[in-house]
């Protein structure tokens, strides 16, 4: 059974902050690092997995390390989109990425930037006991950790910020219908047509998505998916399959952005070991 809800609460948006510029090239990196440390405690923008080889180079803007007590701030991908290090309800930023698509297989278009957040306490309560015997490096290589994150009742949010100025809500509806529908099949869902249509129907034609618009997709307690567009809650659906399928697009086996998924995995491991 699909449970639909239509409250009206709005989610506040945090203003971005900017790290100061240095004077000389030789001191810029050190100055920026010190400023970031002062402004965001243990938020660090570093090369991914320092001290051990990485299978692919990760852009600086997607490499994050978040420990307990990180102060509010922002991360800016190359698209110019900004993401607070803490979202509503205290959810903490785990990684940022970019959703791309191609036109006729020739031209690549940046559609939206995204940030994935999670409740640190939920991660620890749901996962720490099972994974306490593993080291941080072992957790970073453990695929089952991501599977459990998808499966368990952990509050998470995917924040989308539109970067393609000509994106229509109809395109968003069509894209989610295709991608989420394929995940329903992956997780063995049956008779899911009504559930899928209930989800995509929340993206109504009345909503406009100019560049910079924000969509938030949040898994609340008891596997309730809440959808907000520009701070307005447009509806919610109680379905474990829907929550799992949607999050799989960003942190599953075949994610929209592999670098972002790796950063998210690394930061989940870091939270569990903190």
Phi and psi at residue 71, in whole multiples of 5°? -80, 155
CA dihedral 188, 227, 270, 142 (to 10 degrees): 10
Residue found by looking up tokens 């002062």 in the block:
38
What is the predicted pLDDT for the residue at 57?
37
How does pLDDT run across 56-84, given as a tens digit for each residue?
Answer: 333 333 334 343 333 445 676 678 899 99
What is the Cβ-side half-sphere exposure of residue 201, based on CA atoms within 13 angstroms?
A: 11
Domain 85-273 sits in CATH 3.40.50.620: no
In sequence order, the 6+-apart residues with CB closer than 8 A to the CB of 128 are: 272
Is the predicted pLDDT of residue 89 greater than 90, yes or no?
no
Is the predicted pLDDT of residue 258 greater than 80, yes or no?
yes
The pLDDT mean for the chain works out to 79
User: How do the residues of the chain divide into helix, strand and coil, expressed in percent and rounded to 5?
Assistant: 35, 25, 40
User: How confident is the model over 175-201, as a mean pLDDT?
Assistant: 94
Go through 109-138 and write b for each residue having 16 or more CB atoms within 10 A of its CB, e for each that does not: ebbbbbbbbbbbebbbebbeeebeebeeee
User: How confident is the model over 122-145, as a mean pLDDT?
Assistant: 95
What is the predicted pLDDT for the residue at 183?
96
pLDDT band at 4 (very low <50, low <70, confident <90, very high): low
The rounded distance, in Å, linking the Cα atoms of 59 and 6 is: 39
What is the predicted pLDDT for the residue at 46?
30
């Amino acid at each position: 059974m699909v449970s639909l809800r239509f409250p009206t609460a709005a989610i506040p948006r945090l203003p971005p902050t900017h790290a100061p510029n240095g004077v000389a090239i030789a001191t810029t990196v050190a100055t920026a690092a010190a400023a970031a440390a002062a402004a965001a405690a243990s938020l660090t923008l570093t090369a991914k997995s320092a001290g051990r080889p990485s299978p692919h180079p990760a852009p600086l803007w997607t490499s994050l390390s978040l420990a307990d007590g990180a102060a509010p701030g922002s991360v800016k991908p190359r698209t110019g989109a900004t993401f607070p290090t803490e979202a509503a309800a205290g959810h903490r930023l785990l990684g940022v990425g970019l959703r791309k698509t191609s036109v006729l297989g020739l031209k690549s278009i940046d559609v939206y930037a995204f940030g994935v957040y999670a409740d640190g306490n939920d991660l620890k309560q749901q996962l720490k006991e099972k994974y306490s015997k593993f080291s941080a490096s072992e957790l970073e290589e453990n695929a089952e950790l991501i599977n459990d994150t998808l499966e368990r009742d952990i509050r998470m949010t995917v924040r989308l910020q539109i970067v393609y100025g000509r994106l229509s809500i109809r395109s968003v509806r069509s894209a989610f219908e295709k991608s989420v529908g394929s995940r329903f099949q992956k997780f063995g869902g049956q008779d899911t047509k009504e559930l899928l249509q209930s989800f995509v129907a929340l993206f109504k034609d009345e909503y406009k998505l100019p560049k910079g618009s924000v969509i938030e997709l949040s898994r609340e307690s008891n596997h309730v998916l809440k959808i907000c567009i520009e701070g307005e809650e447009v509806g919610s659906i109680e379905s474990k399959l829907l929550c799992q399928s949607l999050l799989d697009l960003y942190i599953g086996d075949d994610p929209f952005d592999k670098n972002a998924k790796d950063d998210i995995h690394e930061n989940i491991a870091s939270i569990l070991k903190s």
